Amino acid sequence: MRKKGKEKAKQIETVIRIAVDAMGGDWAPREVVKGAVEAAHEINAEIVLVGQQEIIEKELIHYNLDGIKLTIHQAEDTINMDDDPVRAIRRKPDSSIVVGMNLVKSGAATAFVSGGSTGAVTAAALLILGRKKHIERPALAITFESTNGPVLFLDVGANADCKPEHLVQFAQMGNVYMQKIFNIAEPRIGLLSNGEEAKKGHKLARSAYPLLEKTGLNFIGNIEGHGFLKGSADVVVTDGFTGNVVIKLCEGFGEVFADIIGQSSNGNTIRTKAKGRVLNHTPGALLLGVNGNVVKTHGSSDSTAINQTIHVAERMIKQKVLETIGT
């Protein structure tokens, strides 16, 4: 009897329930709902669509829901992209971002996915979930496949303004992540800059360089743009402003490249397949350093990107990323 009880408890613990912000993003709720339904058919997890029930139900009637675990959790309000993040969180407690984040805090959901305002998602995670121990600033991180293996790049948008100490913490979080998730014993840590010399870069980079040297990490120095793309380091750190510009620039190249190919392929465009693939990265960015599994996807995400981001959240849970950071 005891054995059966333990097995039952284990089954309860391993249930994956992913809350998805149905109202967040440029194409919400249509593309979010479509992507969530697609993901629910592909993964062994319950998807909880957070938002206005009546609107979500109107979208769901277009899809086959047989055999999938998908529910709706009511959230009456929405945080807009131009809202002040902290003020909106406090003034809109029934918004989809706040409600979804509270589902994670209460344990009702094991992860939260949103394509809403990056500032609001980050602020809500900090105010509701809190930071992991010893982490001053959480960071948005993406992994991509370079020509030399996987690379973790952070911060890509959570912190526009950083101190040198924050870049050190990004490196430390990235180091643990690559050790635990990709089994790299001593990840090579690189600092994104405009030259390999220690004195290159703006004030932030120049100040962070000597601090990174003293961490005991496998810090290999500055990484330029071409080295970043070639995978000269396993972890590349920068401030959120620079990181966000880099990622969006690469995605822009991908879209332009797709358009050029599409125009020369007798009208058979491959824009969707090529979009955002200059870095060959997943659309979901992990918010590392907070007490909960949070994945931020692009505001312009279509259903395919939403689906892929939900898969990222599932992997984040299964690989126990939350447990590896800030311990």
Task: Tell me the domains of the chain and their CATH numbers.
Answer: 1-135+289-318 (3.40.718.10), 136-282 (3.40.718.10)
Per-residue pLDDT tens for 151-182?
999 999 999 999 999 999 999 999 999 998 89
**Cα gap 245→325, rounded to integer Å:** 25
Return mean pLDDT, the chain.
88
pLDDT confidence tier of residue 227, bands split at 50, 70 and 90: confident
Long-range CB contacts for residues 279-283, cutoff 8 Å, separation at least 24: 279/142, 279/144, 279/229, 279/247, 279/250, 279/251, 280/144, 280/145, 281/142, 281/143, 281/144, 281/145, 281/247, 282/142, 282/143, 282/144, 282/308, 282/309, 282/311, 282/312, 283/308, 283/309, 283/312
In sequence order, the β-bridge partners of residue 131 are 290
Whether the CB-CB separation of 292 and 323 falls below 8 Å is answered with no
Q: Tens digit of pLDDT for each residue in 249-259? A: 887 776 776 66
In terms of pLDDT, which residue wins out, 13 or 70? 70
Are 73 and 102 a contacting pair, CB within 8 Å?
no
pLDDT of residue 7: 47
The residues with which 218 forms a beta bridge, in sequence order, are 188
Give the residue, 11 or 188, on which the prediction is more confident: 188
pLDDT of 110 over the 90 cut: yes
- State yes or no: pLDDT of 12 exceeds 70: no
Look up the pTM and report it.
0.87
pLDDT band at 277 (very low <50, low <70, confident <90, very high): very low
- Does residue 26 carry a pLDDT above 80? yes
Provide the token pair at 51: 């938002």
pLDDT digits (tens, 9 = 90+) for 27-79: 999 999 999 999 999 999 999 999 999 999 999 999 999 999 999 999 999 99
Cβ-contact 282, 309 below 8 angstroms = yes
Lowest mean pLDDT among 8-12, 142-146, 261-265: 8-12
Task: Report the pLDDT value the prediction gives residue 5, as an integer from 0 to 100.
Answer: 52
For the stretch 206-218, pLDDT in tens is 999 999 999 999 9
What residue ranges in the chain does DSSP mark as E strands?
Answer: 17-21, 46-51, 70-74, 111-114, 139-146, 149-154, 188-192, 218-223, 235-237, 285-288, 294-296
